[in-house]
Amino acid sequence: MRFPGSTPPLTSPSLPGKSRNSTVLVVAIVVPIIVVVRLFIAGYCFFAKRAKKTYGTAPALDDDKTTSESLQLDYGAIQAATNDYSEDNKIGRGGFGDVYKGTFSNGTEVAVKRLSKTSEQGDAEFKTEVAVVANLRHKNLVRLLGFSIEGEERILVYEYVANKSLDNFLFDPAKKSQLYWTQRYQIIGGIARGILYLHQDSRLTIIHRDLKVSNILLDADMNPKIADFGMARIFEMDQTQQNTLRIVGTYGYMSPEYAMRGQFSMKSDVYSFGVLVLEIISGRKNNSFNETDDAQDLVTHAWRLWRNGTALDLVDPIIVDNCQNSEVVRCIHIGVLCVQEDPVKHPAMSTISVMLTNNTVTLPAPQQPGFFVKSRPGNTPLDSDKSTTSKSFPVSFDETSISDLYPRLLVEYGSIHPANKKHICVGSLGLAKGLGSLPGSQ
């Protein structure tokens, strides 16, 4: 009961700002916690994805720049994909080991290159191939999907190319008829574009050093893909040449200045391309000649026919009646330009690409090619550190003027144009700066 004049009882005063301050405090604490948790989850997912090894599947390479770490695959999955490297799955042999077809559990077909355990240069070539190929993106280059290091095992996993290598068709009497002229011409153009990418359009200036028919793979549509980068070297952007005491490659495709003096450059690949062109046109191996033949190799043979004005005699008999003569002779012309003795005279791949696609471009008269005596029989791969004992020497021909050749070609074959006068050099390992050491390597 309240009496008049009495003082009202004391009560706690109402604080209108207290509730609002409490809410702000809660928000200030909770929101950062939520943000931190979300960032942690996102970071965990990101790094877990990068660190994850692919078990039973091949990785998708969609990034502009792929590191070697992101390509490492589980060895057990590769072993299972090839049925423990079954002989039934063997599809070929590269310069440093066997190649097997594999199928991962998700159905992805791959080509697995298993480096030989006895190869002294195995690790170096393995690391070169991973470092160089990991970031190459071109339709005329075979794509590296991953690798694995397990004890002494060194494994490279590539996209599977259905029709295997070009030599399986070109030098097989039962299959070479499938390579009609239009297809051979497209293959020559595709190889040229792939080499041009290596020399000029990729992030790194890359010299392949082992271009040959067995290193040209054909996909299901018979498009060529350059493979096997175990001997590749990386040049600085302004670098034009390098010397080495270690001569690697395949006799018959090696330019004389490289075989003799260990000098290699983009022009070394151009020489190899020239030999490839002559092989594709003729359907003959460069080393298919013997002592009873007038010429010691295909380069010599092609040059003599060119000098005699009978270039079409070089053409594979299977396609000779179904090819465009002027187009074929133009390709032979490009081939002999590429194998001239003086590497300075070799056209650049950019020029060759124009020559192949624009028949209005006048080609220069080729000079005599460089020939050398082989100290080893056949197209023998080199994988030692010793210099080759091959010697270069000029071959004498009759003094028929090169200008006399063109009128005969013009009359016999149709329209022929008259002649007119990034990066780190990484040494033998081939590892580019910035890629770092390979996971699991010592």
Q: What is the per-residue pLDDT for 134?
A: 80
| pLDDT confidence bin for 47, thresholds 50/70/90 | low
- Domains, the chain, in order of start with CATH, read 69-159 (3.30.200.20), 167-413 (1.10.510.10)
Local confidence band at 325 (pLDDT 50, 70, 90 cut-offs): very high
Residue 105 has, within 13 A of its CA and on its CB side, a CA count of 10
Region 100-129: what's the mean pLDDT? 82
Number of H helices, E strands in the chain: 11, 15
Q: What is the rounded CA–CA span in Å between residue 146 and residue 127?
A: 12
Phi-psi region of 206 (alpha: psi -120 to 50; beta: other; left: phi over 0): beta
Reported as a single tens digit per residue, the pLDDT across 131-163 is: 778 878 899 999 999 999 888 888 999 999 999
The DSSP-derived string for 156-221 is: EEEE--TT-BTHHHHT-TTTGGGS-HHHHHHHHHHHHHHHHIIIIISSSEEE-----GGGEEE-TT
DSSP per-residue codes, 368-427: PBPEEE-SSSSS-EE-SSSPP--EEE--------HHHHHHHHHHHHS--PPPB------T
Q: What integer best gives the mean pLDDT of the chain?
A: 74
Point out which residues pair with 154 in neighbouring strands.
Answer: 149
Question: What is the arithmetic mean of pLDDT over 222-241?
Answer: 75
Q: Which of helix, strand or coil describes residue 92?
A: strand
Strands (E), 45-96: 90-94
Residue whose entry in the numeric block shows the structure tokens 């009128």: 407
User: In the prediction, which pLDDT does 83 show?
Assistant: 96
The DSSP annotation for 281-339 comes to HH---TT---TTSSSSSHHHHHHHHHHTT-GGGGS-TTTGGGS-HHHHHHHHHHHHHHT
- Tell me which residues are annotated as active site: 210
Span 361-372, pLDDT tens digits: 999 999 999 754
Higher pLDDT, 26 or 320: 320
Instruction: Taking residues 304-332, report their average pLDDT.
Output: 95
Q: Under a CB-based contact definition with an 8 Å cutoff, are residues 67 and 435 in contact?
A: yes
Position 403 scores a pLDDT of 30
Question: 42-80: b or e for each residue (b if 16 or more CB lie within 10 Å)?
Answer: eeeeeeeeeeeebeebbbebeeeebbbebbbbbbebbbb
Whose tokens are 């039973």? That residue is: 56
Average pLDDT over residues 60-68: 51
What are the percentages of helix, strand and coil residues in the chain, rounded to 5? 40, 15, 45
Burial 375-387 (b: 16+ CB within 10 A, else e): eeeebebbbeeee
What's the CA gap between 260 and 391, in Å, rounded?
Answer: 6
Categorize the per-residue pLDDT at 45 as very low, low, confident or very high, splitting at 50, 70 and 90: low
User: Could you tell me what percent of the chain has a pLDDT over 90?
Assistant: 43
Centroid of chain to Cα 311? 31
pLDDT of residue 56: 43
Grade residue 338 by pLDDT with cuts at 50, 70 and 90.
Answer: very high
Measure CA 245 to chain center: 23
> Are 147 and 157 within 8 A, CB to CB?
yes
Closest CA to 184 of 292, 314, 308, 95: 314
- pTM tops 0.75: no
pLDDT of residue 380: 45
| 316/278 Cα distance (integer angstroms) | 10
Look at residue 311 in the predicted model and tell me its pLDDT: 96
Q: pLDDT band for position 391 (50/70/90)?
A: very low
Token duo for residue 351: 């020029």
Least trusted range by pLDDT, from 43-47, 218-222, 309-313, 324-328: 43-47
Q: Is the pLDDT of residue 419 over 50?
A: no
Higher pLDDT, 420 or 164: 164
Amino acid 2: pLDDT: 53
pLDDT at 205: 86
Q: For residue 92, is pLDDT > 50? A: yes
Tokens, residue 281: 């046109």
205 or 327, greater pLDDT? 327
Q: How much of the chain, in percent, has pLDDT values that exceed 70?
A: 64
Predicted pLDDT at 304: 93
How crowded is residue 367: how many other Cβ atoms within 10 Å of its Cβ?
14
Confidence of residue 44 (pLDDT cuts 50, 70, 90): low
